[in-house]
Chain A
């Protein structure tokens, strides 16, 4: 893996974005950040990533919508998408489930709270 591999991290929790970005940068990935689905689209069009790590519950455009739009767009459908799915069994404050995530065309899914080492392994598997 080299520093040219570009990962876009999208979540409306800026601390989670930063934590993921720091972990991925430490593994020599090039990381960009977005804080909602609309901004993510802008970043994708400006600088197409190789892979996206995408939260579900975000303002303006949620992760399911964004994932579906990316996978329906011939220019961007080859971007690998890992969805951050908050599993209702593990996170008391969500009604989104892992099952909801599996209905999208995302390439992979990781539940919150996130195991960072597992995420890095998942990123490598999906590149």
Chain B
């Protein structure tokens, strides 16, 4: 491993809950019904991953901790029992940016999580950022470990959110 990878910033989410939904034999696009049910209740999705393999569809999503019961009800009951739901309480998102399209940003991060025995419930790559879903109580430790392989710029913004975006009631 050579040199530290420069970073513009790192962000923590608020405390979230993760729902891992799974459906065997679901028709292609079955996840759309779930997402429409969530949108109908104006549920903010902080993280969403959809995967399909050999007839099984899996949807992994993170929502505000107080919304997890609603997810279980909407996803399972509102879709006629097609989906099963497994929940993990108290997870958090750790996002680093920009990754600069460097593949070693991902490999080094995953090595840090593995060597530090930090749980990884999900990983997402976007145009500019890498996001890891981990235990909420481990966000600080994960951040410390990551800063051993990434160089965060001086005077960076705080990791924790300063404001919370809420739906406007009209």
CB < 8 Å: which of B128, B155, B156, B162 contacts A18?
B128
Q: How many residues of B contact A (CB 8 A)?
A: 23
Cβ–Cβ contact A38 & B168, under 8 A: no
What are the interface flags for A7-37 relative to B under an 8 Å C-beta threshold, 1 for contact and 0 otherwise? 0000010110111000000000000010110
Cβ–Cβ contact A14 & B167, under 8 A: no
Identify which of A75-83, A86-94, A98-106, A115-123 touches chain B: A86-94
> Which residues of chain A in 21-57 are interfacial with respect to chain B, using CB atoms and an 8 Å cutoff?
33, 35-36, 38-39, 42, 57
Query: Is residue B127 contacting chain A, with contact meaning CB distance below 8 A?
Result: yes
- The chain A residue sitting closest to B8, CB to CB, is A35
Most central of A14, A33, A57 by chain B CB within 10 Å? A14
Cβ–Cβ contact B98 & A18, under 8 A: yes
Residues of B near A60 (CB, < 8 A) are 157-158, 162
Most central of B8, B126, B157 by chain A CB within 10 Å? B157
Cβ–Cβ contact B98 & A93, under 8 A: no
Residues of A near B153 (CB, < 8 A) are 39
CB < 8 Å: which of B128, B155, B163 contacts A17?
B128
Cβ–Cβ contact B157 & A38, under 8 A: yes
The 4 closest A-B pairs by CB, nearest first: A14-B97, A18-B128, A14-B128, A36-B157
Interface residues on A, range: 20 to 34
Cβ–Cβ contact A18 & B127, under 8 A: yes
B66 to chain A, nearest CB (A): 17
Instruction: Kindly list 7 other residue pairs between chains A and B, CB separation below 8 angstroms, not including A14-B95, A92-B168.
Output: A14-B126, A14-B129, A38-B155, A38-B157, A60-B162, A92-B42, A93-B44
For the complex, what is the distance from the CA of A64 to the CA of B31, rounded to whole Å? 40
Query: Is residue B165 contacting chain A, with contact meaning CB distance below 8 A?
Result: yes
Query: Is residue A95 contacting chain B, with contact meaning CB distance below 8 A?
Result: yes
Cβ–Cβ contact B155 & A59, under 8 A: no
CB < 8 Å: which of B128, B155, B168 contacts A95?
B168
Query: Is residue B122 contacting chain A, with contact meaning CB distance below 8 A?
Result: no
Cβ–Cβ contact A88 & B168, under 8 A: yes
Residues of A near B162 (CB, < 8 A) are 59-60
Residues of B near A15 (CB, < 8 A) are 126-129
Cβ–Cβ contact A93 & B9, under 8 A: no
